[in-house]
DNA sequence: AACGCGGATCTTTTT
DNA sequence: GATCCGCGTT
């Protein structure tokens, strides 16, 4: 059996810490996972039962990797450990104990797509769908649930009335369908924790609890962890407050920063030796993160002195930027003998991948996009799962509605409405009502629709027989795709997309086969469904990149490392994003952007290339962006002179220590704290809807000269416009007419060119936002 | 009831 | 530019 892997003194201290709370502050690249894995191995060798160890990771992929490494160290014992994400762990606990709080053990898990669908249906049912989008509502609900609060307590805020009207319906529907959403998984376990019987059991269940990425836990997760470690008091948290990048979904870095307050006798270990990056890269990353206040002071250091200087390349457009990156990749392969797998291109937003992908293809570079729309989010996959879920839970109305006419089998709106009406009157679920309809019990249905409903019911009943006959999960899926007519339907379409969908379904079948093998045929449909629900896009890509360049968002790159990292789209407004966030302080938002930059830079082992584009197409509009303020923070000695654009005034965005924090807009602040005589400018006040420099999309020629000019103080925000000004259309106050909404008065106009939008008060219709090109002066 | 098209929205990040 | 939704047409 292996001995403990090579460890430095701090790592060893963390690994060999005995009982009691332990906090490991682990900077980027300091061997955090190694400590975690070795600590678990250490504990088990000291006599702790594998089944009494709970390790919580951030992603399923991280869990799988941890389990694999433990298997290498400990053998089969690793299989008995509880290793998983918060959500997966909670799902497992709920399968065991959920019935205690009224949750059937075969509950299904609804992802946010399912969630949104239900909310959307409910909103439409109440005629509120023109007021709030399902997405907004879902975000709102999650915000409460992330904090462990009841959405029904929402009051006073904008849209809270609607929230309170819809949420109970949503909650009831989930209960009726034996389903939980992501947040419920955690909240229901908290509920269990309060149960007089199960609660104490859970508190004592695990001898050791270890939590990775602790800076990204939310309040509910924190309470969970507290409870689960309550009796034995062996809680080990590992994290880095500088890498907290998920506060937008409720993560509270305070959980880490204040850990010592809740656990006064905590042993603290700081890991500061970085084994990943060169000195140059660390210097740059440290300089960036140093901007933030309120952090555990850490000083990352490395023995890898010097290193290649950081490159900064500025391009004219996002296309040129992608072209530069593609050529640089080729160049690094031929000049330095790098492989594609050595390299990653990181970006702030998903949308940026398109231009990159185009150039990768053009230069014939193998690439893969991580976190692309999840396999399991694809329509054909979700449709198939909806069939399966309806088998398990005939009362799952949302599943019924999803697939009753997919593939199209002639069951239209009116028929469904009638079935729905019958269901409501008889107080039964939709599937039951459809059966009644097929039997002819629903008076309003004529022979045609009745037959069609009967055909659908036959499909479901037939599949239920297959399930009852003890078919494997793979077999069940094959039968579903066949009997539902899905395969035939797609084959008949014979389009590239339809063929894609077919191969996705084939892939689902083979995943199910793997599942069947893995569980010796004992795995149930419920278990397979649960696994699929919790398996996200990031997890889907297996760690190996098979000789391809990796393209991904910075968020997806957390925890990974590459010899060469390209960080593109370094532009103010894009990165940092500076997008207004609901209810968030702009200062906090900026600090998170800084951390994001820190995370991105510290992914690089040897080479870091930064790039920005002067112009970028966004929402079909061309925008002129200034280089990111983050570029200014990179110390001169780290940067290759050649690539660095001409010097310009340095901006500093942080107020004086102790000074006012950022206000949202309209206030000018000065902060001459930079050594280089910084000049604060108004950049921060820019938002997406006001005076962004914009010009007409159809006048490409204007970009080169004007866009390349450096911003100088006092000239900011000039609007460039090529061609005639006439494209602008009506101003606020004027009367206009619209083909479908009639006449109305313009209240506000935003954007320009093709994308110019008007907020119009239409007589009898109300407020609408309309594209300017669709109205005429009245 | 299926299909096509006009129109609005989207883009920050995900278990 | 892509996608998604609703509406009008067949």
Whichever domain contains A759, its CATH number is 2.30.30
What pLDDT shows up at residue A35?
95
| Domain stop point among A681, A700, A731 | A681
Q: Is A212 a catalytic residue?
A: yes
> Last residue of a domain, which of A131, A148, A177?
A177
Instruction: Report d(CA A101, CA A191) in Å as an integer.
Output: 8
A200 and A94 within one domain: yes
Residue nearest to nucleotide C1 (CA to C1'): A620
Contact A88, A53 (CB under 8 A): no
pLDDT for position A765: 62
| Gap between the Cα atoms of A253 and A208, Å rounded | 22
How far apart CA A466 and CA A293 sit, in angstroms, is 61
Identify the weakest region by mean pLDDT among A384-388, A419-423, A769-773: A769-773
Q: What is the rounded distance in angstroms from the CA atom of residue A617 to the CA atom of residue A213?
A: 35
Q: Specify the 3-state DSSP secondary structure of A175.
A: helix
A564-593: pLDDT as tens digits: 999 999 999 899 887 765 556 777 888 899
Residue A681's pLDDT band, with cuts at 50, 70 and 90, is: very low
Residue A590: in which H helix or E strand, if any? helix A586-601
**Strand A604-613 and strand A562-567: pairing?**
parallel
Question: Looking at residue A337, what is its pLDDT?
Answer: 92
A246 shares its domain with A234: yes
A33 is annotated as an active-site residue? yes
Which residues share a beta bridge with A757? A750, A771
To the query of whether residue A487 is one of the catalytic residues in this protein, the response is no
Rounded CA separation A35/A13 (Å): 9
Per the DSSP assignment, residues forming a β-bridge with A767 are A761
**pLDDT the model gives residue A126:** 82
In-domain check, residue A442:
yes
Q: Which of A108, A118, A173, A119 is nearest to A387 (CA)?
A: A108
Find the CATH number of the domain harbouring A309: 3.40.50.300
Task: Give, as one character, the DSSP assignment of residue A310.
Answer: B
pLDDT value of position A261 = 92
Residues A323 and A368 grouped into a single domain? yes
A562 plus A522 within the same structural domain: no
CA atoms within 13 A on the CB side of A41: 23
Distance of CA A407 to the CA centre of its chain: 30
CA distance A329 to A312: 15
Element (H, E) at A26: strand A22-26
More confident residue, A765 or A163: A163
Q: Is residue A281 part of a domain?
A: no
Q: At what angle do helices A60-74 and A32-45 cross, to 10 degrees?
A: 50
Q: Which residue is nearest to nucleotide B6 (CA to C1')?
A: A774
Residue A621, CA: closest nucleotide via C1'?
A: C1
The verdict on residue A496 lying in a domain is yes
Could you tell me the two tokens for A143?
A: 């915000």
Asked if omega into A576 is within 30° of 0 (cis), the reply is: yes
What is the pLDDT at residue A140? 86
Chain position carrying tokens 């866009």: A707
A491 carries an active-site annotation? no
Among the ranges given (A112-126, A210-224, A327-341), the one the predictor scored with the smallest mean pLDDT: A112-126
Length A378 CA → C3 C1' (Å): 14
More confident residue, A715 or A143: A143
d(CA A137, CA A133): 6
Task: Kindly list the strands in the beta sheet with A757-762, ordered across the sheet, starting from the edge strand earlier in the chain.
Answer: A766-771, A757-762, A742-750, A735-738, A775-777
Contact (Cβ atoms closer than 8 angstroms) between residue A66 and residue A281: no
Per residue in A104-162, pLDDT (tens digit) is 999 999 988 888 888 888 888 887 877 788 888 888 898 899 999 999 988 777 778 88
- How far is C-alpha A238 from the geometric centre of its chain's CA atoms? 22
How much helix, strand and coil, in percent to the nearest 5, is found in chain A?
50, 15, 35
* CATH number for the domain harbouring residue A412: 1.10.486.10
Q: Is the pLDDT of residue A712 over 70?
A: no
Mean pLDDT (chain A, rounded): 82
Residues A566, A464 share a domain? no
Is A729 part of a structural domain of the chain? Answer: yes
pLDDT digits (tens, 9 = 90+) for A516-536: 998 898 889 999 998 888 876
Decide: A230 and A205 in contact? Cβ < 8 Å.
no
Least confident of A107-111, A398-402, A702-706: A702-706
Please indicate, yes or no, whether residues A90 and A127 belong to a single structural domain of this protein: no
What's the whole-number mean pLDDT along residues A167-188? 93
**Least confidently predicted of A20-24, A253-257, A760-764:** A760-764
Provide the token pair at A71.
Answer: 């298997």
Residues A370, A541: contact at Cβ < 8 Å? Answer: yes
C-alpha dist (Å) from residue A118 to A391, A408, A487, A513? 19, 21, 27, 31
Number of helices and strands (H, E) in chain A?
Answer: 29, 22
Range of the domain at A358: 288-374+542-681
Please give the pLDDT value at position A650: 41
* pLDDT exceeds 90 at position A374: no
Nearest to A610 by CA among A360, A356, A315: A315
Q: What total of structural domains would you count in chain A?
A: 5
Residue A137 pLDDT? 87
User: Per the structure block, which two tokens stand in for A64?
Assistant: 């799988």
Which nucleotides of strand C come closer than 7 angstroms to any CB of the protein? Answer: 1-2, 5-6
A686 has a pLDDT exceeding 60 = no
| A322, A361: one domain | yes
Catalytic residue among A13, A32, A270, A644: A32
Q: Tell me: do A517 and A571 sit in the same domain.
A: no
Are A387 and A299 in a shared domain?
no
End-to-end CA distance of chain A: 84
pLDDT at A751: 60
DSSP A140-151: HHHHHHHTT--G
Query: Does some domain include residue A714?
Result: no
CA of A410 to C1' of B1 (A): 6
| Selected residue with higher pLDDT from A735 and A171 | A171
Residue A702 lies in a domain: no
List the single range of A109-113, A491-495, A666-670 with lowest mean pLDDT: A666-670
Six-digit token string for A359: 């150039």
A359 tagged catalytic: no
What residues pair up with A268 in beta bridges, in sequence order?
A23
Q: In which element (H, E) is residue A261 found?
A: helix A259-262
CA distance A720 to A730: 19
pLDDT for A246 beyond 60: yes
Element at A85 (helix H, strand E):
strand A82-85
Does residue A243 carry a catalytic annotation?
A: yes
- Residue A705 in any domain: the answer is no
Bases along strand B below 7 A from a protein CB: 1-3, 7-15
Is residue A278 included in any domain, yes or no?
no
Catalytic residue among A5, A12, A16, A33: A33
Cα–Cα distance, A12 to A24 (Å, whole number): 11
Is the Cβ–Cβ distance between A60 and A297 less than 8 Å?
A: no
Helix, strand, or coil (residue A254): helix
Are residues A173 and A214 located together in one domain of the fold? no
CA atoms within 13 A on the CB side of A101: 24
Q: Are A87 and A111 in contact (CB under 8 A)?
A: no
In this complex, the nucleotide whose C1' atom is nearest to the CA atom of residue A123 is C5
Helix/strand/coil for A44: helix
Per the CB < 8 A criterion, the answer to whether A524 and A531 are in contact is no
Cα–Cα distance for residue pair A745/A737, rounded to 1 Å: 9
Task: Indicate the residue among A177, A209, A233 that finishes a domain.
Answer: A177
Claim to verify: residue A549 and residue A440 sit in the same structural domain: no
| pLDDT (0 to 100) of residue A622 | 85
**pLDDT at residue A438 above 80?**
yes
Q: Which nucleotide is nearest to A85 (CA to C1')?
A: B15
Query: Do A490 and A426 reside in the same domain of the chain?
Result: yes
Distance from CA(A437) to C1'(B7), angstroms, rounded: 37
């Amino acid at each position: 059996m292996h001995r403990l892997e090579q460890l430095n003194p701090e790592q060893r201290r963390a690994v060999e810490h005995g009982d009691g709370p332990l906090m490991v502050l682990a900077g980027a690249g300091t061997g955090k996972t190694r400590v975690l894995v070795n600590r678990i191995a250490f504990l088990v060798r000291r006599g702790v039962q594998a089944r009494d160890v709970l390790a919580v990771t951030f992603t399923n992929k991280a869990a799988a990797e941890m389990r694999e490494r433990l298997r290498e160290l400990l053998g089969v014992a690793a299989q008995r450990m509880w290793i998983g994400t918060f959500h997966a762990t909670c799902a497992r606990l709920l399968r065991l104990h959920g019935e205690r709080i009224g949750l059937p053990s075969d509950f299904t898990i609804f992802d946010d797509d399912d969630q949104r669908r239900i909310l959307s249906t409910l909103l439409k049912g109440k005629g509120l769908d023109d007021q709030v989008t399902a997405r907004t509502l879902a975000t709102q609900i999650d915000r409460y649930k992330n904090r462990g609060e009841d959405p029904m307590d929402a009051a006073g805020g904008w849209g809270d009335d609607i929230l309170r009207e819809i949420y109970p319906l949503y909650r009831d529907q989930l209960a009726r369908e034996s389903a939980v959403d992501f947040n419920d998984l955690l909240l229901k376990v908290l509920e269990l924790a309060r149960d007089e019987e199960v609660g104490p059991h859970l508190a004592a269940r695990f001898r050791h609890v270890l939590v990775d990425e602790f800076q990204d836990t939310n309040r509910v997760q924190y309470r969970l962890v507290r409870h689960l470690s309550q009796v034995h008091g062996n809680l080990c948290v590992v994290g880095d407050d500088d890498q907290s990048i998920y506060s937008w979904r409720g993560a509270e870095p305070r959980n880490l920063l204040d850990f010592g307050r809740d656990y006064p006798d905590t042993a603290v270990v700081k890991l500061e030796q970085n084994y990943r990056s060169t000195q140059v890269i660390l210097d740059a990353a440290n300089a960036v993160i140093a901007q933030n206040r309120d952090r555990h002071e850490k000083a990352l250091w490395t023995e890898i002195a010097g290193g290649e200087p950081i490159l900064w390349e500025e391009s004219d457009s996002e296309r040129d930027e992608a072209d530069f990156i593609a050529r640089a990749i080729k160049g690094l392969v031929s000049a330095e003998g790098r492989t594609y797998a050595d390299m990653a291109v990181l970006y702030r937003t998903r949308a940026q991948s398109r231009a990159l992908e185009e150039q990768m293809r053009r230069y014939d570079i193998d690439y893969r996009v991580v976190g692309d729309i999840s396999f399991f989010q694809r329509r054909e996959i979700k449709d198939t799962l909806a069939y399966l879920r309806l088998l398990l839970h005939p009362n799952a109305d949302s599943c019924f509605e999803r697939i009753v006419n997919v593939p199209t089998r002639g069951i239209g709106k009116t028929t469904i409405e009638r079935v729905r009406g019958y269901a409501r009157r008889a107080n039964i679920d939709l599937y039951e009502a459809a059966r009644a309809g097929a039997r002819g019990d629903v008076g309003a249905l004529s022979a045609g629709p009745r037959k069609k409903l009967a055909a659908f019911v036959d499909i479901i009943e037939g599949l239920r027989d297959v399930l009852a006959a003890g078919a494997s999960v793979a077999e069940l899926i094959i039968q579903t795709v066949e009997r539902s007519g899905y395969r035939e339907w797609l084959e008949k379409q014979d389009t590239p997309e339809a063929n894609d969908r077919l191969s996705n379904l084939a892939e689902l079948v083979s995943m199910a086969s793997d599942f069947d093998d893995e569980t010796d045929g004992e795995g149930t449909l419920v278990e397979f469904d649960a696994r699929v629900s919790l398996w996200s896009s990031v997890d889907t890509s297996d760690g190996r990149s098979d000789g391809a360049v990796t393209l991904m968002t910075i968020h997806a790159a957390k925890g990974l490392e590459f010899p060469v990292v390209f960080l593109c789209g370094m532009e103010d407004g894009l990165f940092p994003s500076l997008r207004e966030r609901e209810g968030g302080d702009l200062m906090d938002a900026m600090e998170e952007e800084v951390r994001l930059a820190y995370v991105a830079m510290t992914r690089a082992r040897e080479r870091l290339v930064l790039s920005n584009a002067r112009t970028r197409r966004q929402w079909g509009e061309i925008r002129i962006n200034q280089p990111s303020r983050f570029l200014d923070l990179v110390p001169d000695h780290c940067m290759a002179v050649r690539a660095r654009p001409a010097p310009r005034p340095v901006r500093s965005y942080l107020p004086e220590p102790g000074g006012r924090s950022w206000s949202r807009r309209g206030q000018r602040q000065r902060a001459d704290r930079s050594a280089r005589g910084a000049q604060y400018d108004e950049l921060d006040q820019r938002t997406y809807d006001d005076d962004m420099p914009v010009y007409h999309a159809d006048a490409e020629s204007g970009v080169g000269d004007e866009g390349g000019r450096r911003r100088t103080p006092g000239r900011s925000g000039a609007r460039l416009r090529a061609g005639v000004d006439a494209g602008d259309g009506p101003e606020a106050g004027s009367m206009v007419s619209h083909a479908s909404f009639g006449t109305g008065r313009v209240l506000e106009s935003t954007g320009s060119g093709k994308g110019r939008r008007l907020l119009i008060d239409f007589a009898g219709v109300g407020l609408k936002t309309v594209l300017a090109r669709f109205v005429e002066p009245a």
